[in-house]
Structures are given as C-alpha cells and as structure tokens.
C-alpha cells in the first residue's frame, strides 16, 4: 500500500478550478517513486525541490503536507528497497523517476 502526492500547477483566480500534477508515490518498503511529468517542471530531485518551494503539497486524501515534511519523507525513503528495473524506472542521481502515468 502507498500514498500518492500532488501539487497544483494552475489555478483560476476567478472560478477556483485548478490543474494538478502527480509528484510521486511513497510505498512501504520502497524508495519514493517520483513522476517525471515529461520533464516539464523538473528534471531531477534538486529541480523538484526548487519547483515545490512555493507550492502546496497534498496527499491523495487531501491532507496538506509541508514542504519540509515531504522532503524528510523522501530522505527517509532513500534507504529502502530499490527495484528500478520494473516498469521503466529511471535512476537520476540515486532517485527513482518514472515518466509515465502511475498511481
């Protein structure tokens, strides 16, 4: 079982509609799996951190997660199992990214 994380990328000030992107998933016993999103917003972990500086991060249940808590979660997950050969994983500086839809 795992938890997905998202952030808003566009929000209409008039109607409140928004578009969000999937940042990745934290699963028990596994490294955090990032969604590369075609490299449109970030191309590695350092760029992801910069991208998220002014964003609201939420889990799939709608709970807001602070930037600091999210980064701590990722750091703690780095020592977990890594099966990067499954499903087209891309290892970028030791972090696992997927450039496809997943949940």
| pLDDT tens digit sequence for 3-25 | 999 999 988 888 878 889 999 99
Sorted by where each begins, the domain ranges of the chain are 2-98
pLDDT at residue 70 above 60?
yes
Assigned token pair, 28: 């028990």
Quick one: pLDDT at residue 11? Answer: 81
DSSP states of 11-38? E-TTT--EEEEEEEEEETTB--EEE-GG
Residues 43-66 have a mean pLDDT of 97
Quick one: pLDDT at residue 20? Answer: 94
């Amino acid at each position: 079982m795992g938890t997905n994380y998202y952030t808003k990328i566009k929000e209409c000030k008039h109607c409140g509609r928004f578009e969000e992107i999937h940042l990745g998933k934290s699963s028990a016993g596994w490294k955090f799996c990032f969604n590369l999103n075609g490299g449109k917003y970030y191309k590695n972990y350092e760029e992801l951190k910069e991208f998220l500086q002014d964003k609201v991060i939420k889990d799939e249940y709608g709970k807001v997660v602070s930037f600091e808590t999210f980064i701590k979660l990722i750091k703690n997950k780095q020592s977990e199992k890594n099966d990067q050969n499954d499903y087209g994983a891309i290892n970028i500086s030791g972090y696992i990214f997927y450039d496809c839809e997943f949940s």
